[in-house]
């Protein structure tokens, strides 16, 4: 994997309520093709291979491996759960697990964005093209963020809150059926599936941060990592890792270590998650010491 790079950055401030991260990935010419493993994040992604039109990748419920050929550059941004439905002004369940040309959604504006991105001379300019495409669409619908109910539900379903799905719906004054209907329409998946994905993202954040700091992704061992990430035990983590990443935790962590050591920077994703976990734990513990992501 030497030679290929993946760099994440935060979005521009005006899109912070809609977008979590942006990225640029390069597979240099002369290097082997790279199997990019896309993992569920709970949000939709807007991606563009330089030289082609942008595509929208609907929310995933399992892993999807895409082979990136030598000479490929991909520019993308990741939307928050529920953000695309707000931007489009319509349900997004029909996009779940699918990759569609953005031209089908935004017409000539998406085609023109692909041309401008191909002509961009810097990474910031290329990312800015996709950010402008989202910003223009949000302006048309008046969207400033996901539907408030979905934004609050996503916050409460994070692993450090350890809330039951039924309890979250009740706290938001929505029936169990209504809560599921809102999530399916706005996010593309049900609340239980979203909770599983958010918990896995918390686990991934810990492993990426540890690897970036030069440590072992598993830290004090898989059993401890599982509990810290909000799983009942190591067996629970194993089942969810196979479900959401397609491999066992040991195989997955080895891949994280190899990828992050050869030119991957995921700090724009994991830093906000770990900061929120820290704040939640500090509040619960009366600001005594560093919390875990345990449920």
Q: Are residues 173 and 280 in the same domain?
A: yes
Within the chain, where are the H helices? Answer: 83-88, 103-106, 108-119, 123-141, 148-156, 165-171, 176-186, 191-212, 222-228, 234-245, 249-261, 267-284
- Cα 17 to Cα 155: distance, rounded to the nearest angstrom: 13
Query: Is the backbone of residue 97 left (phi > 0), alpha (psi -120 to 50) or beta?
Result: left
Check the CA dihedral 208-209-215-219 and report its sign: negative
pLDDT at residue number 217: 60
In a domain, residue 43? The reply is: yes
- Provide the pLDDT confidence category of residue 215 given band limits of 50, 70 and 90: low
pLDDT at residue number 292: 38
In a domain, residue 295? The reply is: no
Q: Are residues 77 and 52 in the same domain?
A: yes
User: Could you tell me the two tokens for 266?
Assistant: 């995921």
User: Could you tell me the two tokens for 53?
Assistant: 């039109």
Q: Are residues 154 and 136 in the same domain?
A: no
Which backbone phi and psi does 224 adopt, to 5 degrees? -65, -40
DSSP string, 68-96: EPTTEEEEEEEEPTTHHHHHHTS--GGGT
Q: Are residues 178 and 241 in the same domain?
A: yes
Average pLDDT over residues 109-133: 97
**295, pLDDT greater than 50:** no
Q: Are residues 117 and 10 in the same domain?
A: yes
**236, pLDDT greater than 50:** yes
| DSSP for residue 127 | H
Domain total for the chain? 2
In a domain, residue 291? The reply is: no
Torsion angle, CA of 214/220/222/227, rounded to 10 degrees? -110
In a domain, residue 292? The reply is: no
In a domain, residue 294? The reply is: no
Which backbone phi and psi does 96 adopt, to 5 degrees? -55, 125
Q: Are residues 124 and 11 in the same domain?
A: yes
Cβ-based burial of 224 (10 A; exposed 0-12, middle 13-18, buried ≥19): middle
Nearest Cα to Cα of residue 255 among 13, 26, 52, 37: 37
Element (H, E) at 34: strand 34-38
Write down the residue that tokens 């830093």 correspond to: 271
What CATH number is associated with residue 252? 1.10.10
Q: Which of 141, 158, 186 is the last residue of a domain?
A: 141
Element (H, E) at 67: strand 64-68
Q: Is 259 helix (H, G, I), strand (E, B) or coil?
A: helix
Domain range for residue 196? Answer: 148-284
- Provide the pLDDT confidence category of residue 248 given band limits of 50, 70 and 90: very high
Q: Are residues 126 and 20 in the same domain?
A: yes
In a domain, residue 73? The reply is: yes
Nearest Cα to Cα of residue 9 among 104, 89, 125: 125
Q: Which of 141, 172, 205 is the last residue of a domain?
A: 141
Average pLDDT over residues 151-179: 93
pLDDT at residue number 50: 97
Q: Are residues 89 and 41 in the same domain?
A: yes
| DSSP for residue 19 | E
**289, pLDDT greater than 60:** no
Q: Are residues 153 and 36 in the same domain?
A: no
Q: Are residues 273 and 204 in the same domain?
A: yes
Nearest Cα to Cα of residue 156 among 261, 50, 35, 295: 295
**78, pLDDT greater than 90:** yes
pLDDT at residue number 163: 81
Q: Are residues 136 and 59 in the same domain?
A: yes
In a domain, residue 190? The reply is: yes
Is 75:50 a contact under the CB 8 Å cutoff? yes
User: Could you tell me the two tokens for 148?
Assistant: 């408030």
Q: Which of 104, 124, 141 is the last residue of a domain?
A: 141
In a domain, residue 290? The reply is: no
Nearest Cα to Cα of residue 54 among 98, 106, 11: 106
């Amino acid at each position: 994997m030497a030679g290929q790079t993946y760099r994440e950055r935060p979005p521009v401030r005006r899109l912070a309520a809609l977008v979590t991260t942006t990225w640029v990935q390069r597979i240099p010419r002369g290097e082997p093709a790279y199997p990019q493993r896309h993992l569920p994040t709970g949000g939709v992604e807007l991606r563009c291979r330089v030289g082609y039109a942008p595509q929208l990748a609907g929310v995933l419920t399992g892993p999807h491996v895409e082979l990136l050929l030598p000479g490929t550059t991909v520019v993308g941004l990741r939307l928050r759960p529920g953000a695309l439905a707000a931007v489009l002004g319509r349900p997004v369940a029909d996009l779940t697990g699918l990759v569609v040309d953005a031209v089908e959604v935004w017409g000539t504006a998406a085609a023109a964005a692909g041309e401008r991105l191909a002509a961009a001379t810097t990474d910031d300019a290329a990312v800015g093209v996709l950010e402008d495409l989202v910003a223009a669409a949000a302006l048309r619908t008046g969207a400033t963020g996901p539907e408030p109910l979905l934004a609050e539900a996503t916050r409460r379903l994070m692993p450090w809150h350890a809330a039951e799905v039924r309890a979250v719906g009740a706290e938001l004054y929505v029936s169990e059926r209504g809560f599921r209907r809102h999530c399916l329409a706005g996010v593309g998946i049900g609340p239980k599936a979203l909770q599983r994905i958010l918990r896995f993202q918390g686990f991934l954040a810990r492993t990426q941060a540890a690897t970036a700091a030069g440590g072992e992704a598993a830290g004090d061992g898989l059993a401890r990592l599982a509990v810290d990430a909000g799983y009942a035990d190591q067996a629970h983590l194993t089942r969810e890792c196979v479900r959401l990443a397609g491999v066992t935790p040991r195989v997955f962590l080895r891949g994280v270590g190899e990828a992050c050591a050869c030119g991957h920077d995921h700090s724009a994703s994991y830093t906000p998650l770990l900061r929120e976990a820290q704040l939640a734990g500090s509040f619960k513990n009366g600001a005594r010491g560093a919390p875990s992501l345990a449920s």
